[in-house]
């Protein structure tokens, strides 16, 4: 049985599904959801092992895409436009390549359909330090993470996934052990031949190295209609660093696909 996904709904119109990145939740794309809700039916989904969605032992790209497909069926969405940031972008690409008839258009934010080397050791160490023993406050959680994670913005992002339990202690809302066990699988490339021939927009952070020039050939082989936009002056969290520019790029692309 597929894992049950949590989602929130804003607006009315053609359906758009928003998918967050690793360690995040649907709330991370709240600014974009609000900017689109005047003309689209916007679904913000928590991926398996994230947010308020169910937990799963097997949560690689294929399993996550299947969970999303089951969620679409449950909500009566025959097809929808998908937007995914980072891990969410990989899940969106996996679904588009495997079930192109279910994807009206696709926006991929700062990720490519390639395998990535491990680069979250410090994050997992910080998350583990918080989970190792009862944590009485967000400040205490931040202090523990500061021993492992040097970027204050990353710590603040991770703190959004803390929840307070019935004993008054703080713990991670996401399935930390599940994310750790599936880390190699979500770093991998989508394992489908494609191509997806619908309209696709890749958005790259100008200071991010997640999308490189060497990826272009592979991107175009899988997504022959793809276009690429670069957002200068921002890194991997482009939607949070320059939300007005990001929201505008996404909105204009989706408007162009609407009847």
Query: Does the residue 81 lie in any domain?
Result: yes
What is the sign, positive or negative, of the torsion defined by CA atoms of 86, 48, 147, 117?
Answer: negative
pLDDT score of 2: 77
Looking at the domain assignment, is residue 1 inside a domain?
Answer: no
Write down the pLDDT at residue 1: 47
Q: Are residues 95 and 140 in the same domain?
A: no
Per the DSSP assignment, residues forming a β-bridge with 9 are 43
Residue 94 half-sphere exposure toward CB, CA atoms < 13 A = 27
- Residue 258: per-residue pLDDT: 80
pLDDT of residue 192: 85
Q: Is residue 2 part of a domain?
A: no
Whether 31 is covered by a domain: the verdict is yes
What gap in Å lies between CA 257 and CA 174, rounded to an integer? Answer: 34
- Within a domain: 251: yes
List the domain range (segments joined by +) for residue 127.
121-181
Indicate whether 62 and 177 sit together in one domain. no
- Counting the structural domains of the chain, the total is 2
Last residue of a domain, one of 181, 211, 233: 181
My answer on whether 34 and 54 are in the same domain is yes
Name the burial class of residue 227, with classes exposed (0-12), middle (13-18) and buried (19+) by CB atoms within 10 angstroms of its CB.
exposed
Tell me: do 206 and 103 sit in the same domain: yes
CATH of the domain at 55: 3.40.50.1820
Confirm if 190 and 111 have CB atoms less than 8 A apart. Answer: no
Active-site annotation, residues: 86, 236
E strand or H helix at 208: none
| Average confidence (pLDDT) per 10 residues, the chain, 259 residues | 89 97 96 98 98 94 96 97 98 97 98 96 97 96 97 94 94 96 95 91 97 95 97 94 97 92
Residue 174 in domain: yes
Tell me the per-residue pLDDT of 28-74, one tens digit each, with 9 for 90 and over: 999 999 999 999 999 999 999 999 999 999 899 999 999 999 999 99
For residues 212 and 100, membership in a common domain is answered with yes
pLDDT of residue 95: 97
Q: Whole-structure pTM over 0.85, yes or no? A: yes
Same domain, yes or no: 61 and 46: yes
Question: Is residue 108 situated within a structural domain?
Answer: yes
Q: 100 and 72 in one domain?
A: yes
Are residue 19 and residue 106 in the same domain, yes or no? yes
User: Residue 191 has what pLDDT?
Assistant: 83
């Amino acid at each position: 049985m597929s894992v049950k996904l949590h989602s929130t709904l804003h607006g009315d119109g053609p359906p758009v599904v928003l998918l967050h990145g690793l360690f995040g939740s649907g709330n991370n794309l709240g600014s974009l959801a609000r900017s689109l809700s005047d003309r689209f039916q916007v679904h913000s989904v928590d991926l398996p092992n994230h947010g308020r969605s169910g937990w799963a032992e097997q949560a690689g790209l294929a399993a996550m895409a299947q969970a999303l497909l089951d969620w679409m069926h449950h909500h009566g969405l025959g097809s929808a436009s998908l937007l995914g940031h980072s891990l969410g972008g990989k899940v969106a690409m996996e679904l588009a390549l495997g079930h192109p008839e279910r994807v009206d258009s696709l926006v991929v934010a700062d990720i490519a359909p390639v395998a990535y080397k491990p680069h979250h050791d410090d994050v997992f160490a910080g998350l583990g330090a918080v989970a190792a023993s009862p944590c009485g406050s967000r400040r205490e959680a931040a202090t523990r993470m500061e021993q492992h994670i040097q970027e204050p913005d990353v710590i603040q992002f991770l703190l959004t996934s803390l929840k307070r339990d019935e004993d008054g202690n703080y713990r991670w809302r996401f399935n930390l052990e599940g994310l750790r066990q599936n880390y190699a699988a979500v770093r991998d490339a989508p394992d489908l031949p494609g191509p997806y021939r619908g309209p696709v927009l890749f958005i790259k952070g100008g200071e991010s190295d997640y999308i490189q020039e060497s990826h272009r050939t592979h991107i175009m082989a899988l997504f022959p209609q793809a276009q690429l936009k670069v957002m200068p002056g921002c890194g991997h969290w482009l939607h949070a660093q320059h939300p007005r520019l990001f929201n505008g790029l996404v909105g204009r692309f989706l408007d162009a696909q609407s009847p």
